[in-house]
Amino acid sequence: MKQSALFTRTIKDAPKDEVSFNAQILIRAGFIDKLGAGIYTFLPLGLRVMNKITNIIREEMNNIGSQEMLMPALIPRDLLDKTGRWDLIDVLFKLDGVDKKEYALGSTHEEVVTPTIKKHVISHKELPLSVYQIQNKFRNELRAKSGLMRGREFLMKDLYSFHKTQEDLDKYYEIVQRAYFKVYERCSLLDITYLTYASGGDFSKYSHEFQALTEAGEDDIYICNKCNVAINKEIIEEQSVCPVCGNKKLEVKRAVEVGNIFKLGTRFTDSFDFNYIDKEGKGQGVIMGCYGIGVGRLMGTIAEVRHDDNGVIWPEEVAPFKVHLLALQTKNEELNKWAESVYDNLISHGIEVLYDDRDVPAGQKFTEADLIGCPFRLVIGAKNLNKRMVEVKRRDRDEVDLVSENELINKVI
Amino acid sequence: MKQSALFTRTIKDAPKDEVSFNAQILIRAGFIDKLGAGIYTFLPLGLRVMNKITNIIREEMNNIGSQEMLMPALIPRDLLDKTGRWDLIDVLFKLDGVDKKEYALGSTHEEVVTPTIKKHVISHKELPLSVYQIQNKFRNELRAKSGLMRGREFLMKDLYSFHKTQEDLDKYYEIVQRAYFKVYERCSLLDITYLTYASGGDFSKYSHEFQALTEAGEDDIYICNKCNVAINKEIIEEQSVCPVCGNKKLEVKRAVEVGNIFKLGTRFTDSFDFNYIDKEGKGQGVIMGCYGIGVGRLMGTIAEVRHDDNGVIWPEEVAPFKVHLLALQTKNEELNKWAESVYDNLISHGIEVLYDDRDVPAGQKFTEADLIGCPFRLVIGAKNLNKRMVEVKRRDRDEVDLVSENELINKVI
């Protein structure tokens, strides 16, 4: 798209009440706007990044045979009373309907998904089953000062799986683990993300979190460098050794939870009398797992760990545009005409391009390109106009190459 | 997708408390599930339809140069106090934050979009500007008994435009009108949708609603058959003639509002001191318009007006799948193998197919295909197996054609 048509501008100073780096830099770059603590608007560039991350997650969840659905945010109180969580979940936003009923805004959806799936699944033939949604969650947080990493309203992927046996759940639980690592890999977070052992509740010894190393995180994790896994604070208080190899030398680091997976057993299916009919015609409890990834939190984490002093360095798969094309000296008709044709050429090769066609100083264009952080910066300037050469620079490297238009396409495709 | 992998089933009886036809039929077909009055879950088939409608709207809004963004549902009270609408909007869901602040769930977003755009637009050069979002709205409705046509939580496209002059707004207002008619055309609602004159508030004589004729609607409109426009109840109480031609013979019909467009003047930009700097360096009030389409309401309306006694008849552009392929006698290996190859062949041509590969009676497959309502039904049965012929029937016609696999692709592509 042409930058002259983009309504957002980069902003010199983030709001004073914004203390998190990820929100500060994304506000300055024009990706998000702050409406209140933990409440953000996604502007066009930010929405593009969110949609890229959402689609990565969607693809990986579809790849493990999960079916997408979409549940409402409004949850009638009686559903949460059934599991005792109306009073148990301390971050629930609660509200009164004019219909004299009470509602909560969903912070998680076990109480919605379980009775819904119950209406559609009766026989053992219909299990196992996996469903997910990508939907806005709400948490009435007292402190919401970590930007996109802890929102009062935030986009989340929550997946729920239903099984006949514990073994089948265990198997799927591992499949989801692998799918999660694929998501982190595609978001360029794999090298800093640890499978982290957490408290398992009543139904398994451990649950697991996925923790990405960043000083901006709110958690401490204890890493076993032999196994490349970690344990969280709850667990370290019970045992100070690696749960895999028994290693006692654990390294403490600051991290943010970028996913969690949990074996629920029949905790929720019991509450809703959700049984399946087995081969002998007998009712059996359905065994359940749940698996979450915060989309906005992933975006915030990427901004925290992939940046330099000048701005964000978006990984290719989640960047708002792959290429930022800067036309300098836009008063030069010949230069403009050629820049326009390079833009059209890139587009015709299916490359996503943000084309800075504005009549602003070159310095401003360079500064803003670094701040916005697209993976490739192409510069069309007067000094290389005669030779029809384009400057190519990757956002994450220092070298600048001078290439012809033909080479250019190969370089950025 | 293979129907054996789809977790939803068709359901014999909709819940007794569901009185609307659109929700009844969509629940029975396994498109939606009812969580409470005006609160629905979109199951995989229903979500596919919603996404199709959403994408139609997105394309048409992008085509008129509008930029997509995404605002939060949680709106801090102070923003709504600024315009006096905290107490004025009677359907606001209100809630208390643990941060001692009050919030509303957005039923419309003028109070969010106006101060946000103000941060990015300063000069006359940056206007006009159009932005939109596709986002969940909330309304604390006392009566919510029209299914998807009046939800407490519902997906909506809301677009806001900002202009320097009234003339420029007037021009864009007409552009949006035409874009809306394209949306209705692609949803096969054009022939029953009327541009309907409504009360304009302080800033223009009329605003406009788009009303689609259906007995399930909650409004009466008064149609001028000469001009193909209508006026709503408010207006008929003031004037009982067509506002275009003065025709006095107006025909009253039941209808549902499937869109509305409104000139806001400076009502909201004044509240937020949103001015632009003109060429002379002087501050001038920004003039605003707003334009809404309910996505779920469109889906409900299509179900109300495009069905027969056996189920929904989805228009091609919004159908969950274009083709429903039924393999009868699935115990026949040869038949199964061929059905599978027809399925693969259709997919390889980019056709969306729901493939009923289940081992259930043929009668059930036919009944469910009609209920689900994909535009093309293909039947692979034993009697035409030797000749490798496929039965093709359009959902909206009675004729059944027997065609070869090659002809088949041309027929449904």
pLDDT tens digits, A239-283: 889 999 999 999 999 999 999 999 999 999 999 999 999 999 999
Cα A182 to Cα A23, A47, A58, A140, A149: the distances in Å are 25, 22, 12, 31, 20
How far, CA to CA in Å, does A178 sit from each of A63, A159, A173, A190?
A: 11, 14, 9, 11
Interface test with A, best of B43, B51, B101 (most A CBs within 10 A): B43
The answer to whether residues B258 and B114 belong to one domain is yes
Least confident of A81-95, A191-205, B252-266, B343-357: A191-205
Euclidean distance between CA atoms B154 and B174, whole angstroms: 26
Asked if B71 lies within 8 A of A41 by C-beta distance, the reply is: yes
Structure confidence at residue A329 as a pLDDT band (50, 70, 90): confident
In the three-class reduction of DSSP (H, G, I as helix; E, B as strand; rest coil), residue A5 is classed as helix
- What does the pLDDT read at residue A328? 96
Nearest to A7 among B5, B35, B121 (CB): B121
Output b/e per residue, B333-350; b: 16+ Cβ within 10 A: eebbebbbebbeebeeee
**A238 and A273 belong to one structural domain:** yes
pLDDT at A148 over 90: yes
Mean pLDDT to the nearest integer, B357-385: 97
- Which distant-in-sequence residues (6+ apart) come within 8 Å of B70 by Cβ? A41, A42, A47, A50, B133, B134, B135
Model confidence at A413: pLDDT above 90: no
If one counts every other C-beta atom within 10 angstroms of the C-beta of residue A172, the result is 23
Shared domain for B41 and B72, answered yes or no, is yes
Average pLDDT, chain A: 96
- In this prediction, residue A163 has a pLDDT band, given cuts at 50, 70 and 90, of very high
Residue B196 has pLDDT above 90, yes or no: yes
Q: Do B7 and A121 make contact, defined as CB atoms within 8 angstroms?
A: yes
CB A378 within 8 A of CB A324: yes
User: In the sheet where B353-356 sits, what is the strand order?
Assistant: B353-356, B323-327, B376-380, B389-394, B400-404
Contact call for residues B241 and B247 (beta carbons, < 8 A): yes
Alpha carbons A58 and A158: distance in angstroms, whole number: 11
In the listed set B308, B339, B369, which residue is the last one of a domain according to the structure? B308
In a domain, A7, yes or no: yes
Separation in Å, CA of B102 to nearest CA in chain A: 11
Q: Which letter, b or e, does each residue of B28-38 get, where b requires 16 or more Cβ atoms within 10 Å of its Cβ? A: bbbbbbbbbbb
For B59, the token pair is 């394309």
pLDDT tens digits, one per residue of A355-396: 999 999 999 999 999 999 999 999 999 999 999 999 999 999
Q: Which residues contact A231 (CB under 8 A, 6 or more apart)?
A: A196, A197, A198, A221, A222, A224, A239, A242, A243, A250
Q: Under an 8 A CB cutoff, do B35 and A76 touch?
A: yes
> Which among A2, A8, A13, A91 is the top mutation candidate for probing chain B, defined by the most B β-carbons within 10 Å of its own β-carbon?
A8
Q: Where are the beta strands (DSSP E) in B29-98?
A: 32-36, 39-42, 67-68, 74-76, 93-96
Same domain, A300 and A327: no
CA distance B155 to B295: 5
Residue A203 has pLDDT above 80, yes or no: no
Bridge pairing between strands A376-380 and A353-356: unpaired
- Please tell me the predicted confidence (pLDDT) of residue A239: 87
Do B97 and B199 share a structural domain? yes
Structure tokens at B94: 């209100």
Distance (Å) from the C-alpha of residue B76 to the closest C-alpha of chain A? 7
**Closest to A296 (Cα-Cα) out of A87, A116, A46, A124:** A46
Domain containing residue A331: CATH number? 3.40.50.800
Provide mean pLDDT across the span B376-392: 96
pLDDT over 90 percentage in chain A: 93
Average pLDDT over residues A310-332: 96
> Is B30 in Cβ contact with A120 (below 8 Å)?
yes
Confidence of residue B30 (pLDDT cuts 50, 70, 90): very high
Around Cβ A132, how many Cβ atoms within 10 Å?
25
State the average pLDDT over residues A296-313.
97
Among the partner-chain residues A112, A117, A142, the one whose CB lies closest to the CB of B99 is A142
**Cis peptide bond prior to B361, omega within 30° of 0:** no
Listed in sequence order, the residues at least 6 apart from B239 whose beta carbon sits closer than 8 Å to its beta carbon are B231
The residue type at B356: D
- Residue A42: φ, ψ to 5°: -95, 110
The backbone region for B292, taken as left when phi is positive above 0, alpha when psi lies in -120 to 50, beta otherwise, is: beta
Predicted local confidence at residue A6, as pLDDT:
96
End residue of a domain, out of B261, B277, B308 = B308
* Residue A318 within a domain: no
- pLDDT value at position A272? 98
Q: Given the DSSP bridges, would you call strands A376-380 and A323-327 parallel, antiparallel or unpaired?
A: parallel
Helix axes A44-63, A295-305, angle to 10 degrees: 110
Q: Least CA distance to B39: which residue of chain A?
A: A72
A202 pLDDT higher than 80: no
Q: Is B33's CB within 8 Å of A98's CB?
A: no
B65 at interface of A, judged by CB pairs closer than 8 A? yes
**For the domain that residue B180 is a member of, what is the CATH number?**
3.30.930.10
Q: How many CB pairs under 8 A join A and B?
A: 145
Instruction: Name which of B269, B272, B265 is nearest B289 in CA terms.
Output: B265
The Cα angle at residue A88 between residues A84 and A90, in degrees rounded to 5: 150
Number of H helices and E strands in chain B, helices first, is 12, 23
Q: Which of A76, A129, A140 sits opposite B7 (nearest CB)?
A: A129
Whether the predicted pLDDT of B202 surpasses 80: no
Mutation pick from B99, B125, B163, B272 vs chain A, by most beta carbons of A within 10 Å, is B99
* B347 at A interface, C-beta within 8 A: no
The CA distance from A106 to A109, in Å, is 6
What band does B308 get if pLDDT is binned at 50, 70 and 90? very high
pLDDT of residue B204: 81
Would you say B184 and B159 are in contact if contact means Cβ atoms under 8 Å apart? Answer: no
Tell me the percentage of chain B whose pLDDT exceeds 90: 93
Domain assignment present for A284: yes
Residue B266 domain-assigned (yes or no): yes
CA–CA separation, B213 vs B191, rounded Å?
9
Do B231 and B296 lie in a common domain?
yes
> Which uninterrupted H or E stretch holds A59?
helix A44-63
Any domain includes A354: yes
H helix runs in A103-244, sequence order: 110-118, 166-186, 233-238
Contact A72 B8 (CB under 8 A): no
Set of chain A residues whose Cβ sits within 8 Å of the Cβ of B104: none
Query: What is the crossing angle of helices A166-186 and A44-63, to 10°?
Result: 140
Give yes or no: residues A301 and A329 share one domain: no
Q: What are the Cα distances from residue A98, in Å, to A333, B93, B149?
A: 63, 9, 19
From A35, A95, A119, residue closest to B112, measured CB to CB:
A35
Q: Are A258 and A157 in contact (CB under 8 A)?
A: no
- Could you read off the pLDDT of B314-363 as tens digits, one per residue? 999 999 999 999 999 889 999 999 999 999 999 999 999 999 999 999 99
pLDDT band for position B365 (50/70/90)?
A: very high
Is the reported ipTM for this assembly greater than 0.90? Answer: yes
Contact assessment for residue B198 and residue B232, using Cβ atoms and an 8 Å cutoff: yes
Distance in Å, alpha carbon of A77 to nearest chain B alpha carbon: 11
Phi-psi region of A154 (alpha: psi -120 to 50; beta: other; left: phi over 0): beta
Closest-CA distance, A236 to chain B, in angstroms, reads: 31
Q: How many domains does chain A have?
A: 2
- State yes or no: cis peptide before B315, omega within 30 of 0: no
**Angstrom distance (rounded) from CA B198 to CA B176:** 16
A304 and A333 inside one domain: no
Strands (E) in B286-328, as ranges, are 287-294, 307-308, 311-312, 323-327
Question: In angstroms, how far is the first alpha carbon of chain B from the final one?
Answer: 17
Using CA atoms, how far apart are residues A29 and A20, in angstroms rounded to an integer? 14
The torsion of the CA quartet B130, A313, A225, A232, rounded to 10 degrees, works out to: -30
Task: Tell me the C-alpha to C-alpha distance, in Å, between residue B287 and each of B173, B204, B265, B284.
Answer: 12, 12, 5, 9
Residue A134 and residue A212 share a domain: yes
DSSP string for residues in B119-184: HH--BGGG-SEEEEEEEEEE---S---SGGGS-SEEEEEEEEEEESSHHHHHHHHHHHHHHHHHHH
**Which among A41, A71, A112 is the nearest to B70, CB-wise?**
A41
A298 and A344 co-located in one domain = no
- CA–CA distance, B302 with B396 (Å, rounded to integer): 14
Distance of CA A346 to the CA centre of its chain: 28
* Closest listed residue to residue B134, CA positions, set B217, B63, B46, B73: B73
Nearest CB partner across the interface for A7, out of B40, B120, B153: B120
Range of the domain at A359: 323-412
Least Cα separation, residue B244 to chain A (angstroms) = 36
The 10s digit of each residue's pLDDT in B112-170 is: 999 999 999 999 999 999 999 999 999 999 988 899 999 999 999 999 999 999 999 99
Amino acid at A161: S
Closest CB to A120: pick one of B8, B75, B79. B8
- The answer to whether residue A69 neighbours chain B at the CB level (below 8 Å) is yes
- For B41, which of A44, A70, A94 is closest by C-beta distance? A70
Q: Domain end: B250, B274, B308, which one?
A: B308
Assess B40–A contact: CB distance below 8 Å, yes or no.
Answer: yes
| Whole-angstrom Cα Rg for chain B | 25
Same domain, B302 and B344: no
| CA–CA separation, A270 and A84 (whole Å) | 12
Could you say which residues from 193 to 232 on chain A have a Cβ atom under 8 Å away from some Cβ of chain B? none
Would you say residue A258 lies in a domain? Answer: yes
Domain-located, residue A229: yes
Residues A187 and A279 occupy one common structural domain: yes
Most B-contacting residue of A66, A99, A137, A152 (CB-CB within 10 A), to test interface: A99
Q: What is the pLDDT of residues A106-129, one digit of tens each?
A: 999 999 999 999 999 999 999 999
- Does any domain span residue B304? yes
SS3 A217: coil
User: CB distance from B37 to chain A under 8 Å?
Assistant: yes
- In which residue are the tokens 């088939």 written? B45
- Residue type for position A287: I
Rounded CA gap, A107 and A290, in Å?
Answer: 13
Exposed e or buried b per residue across A323-343, where buried means at least 16 C-beta atoms within 10 angstroms of its C-beta: bbbbbbbbebeebbebbbebb
Angle between helices B295-305 and B44-63 (to 10 degrees): 110
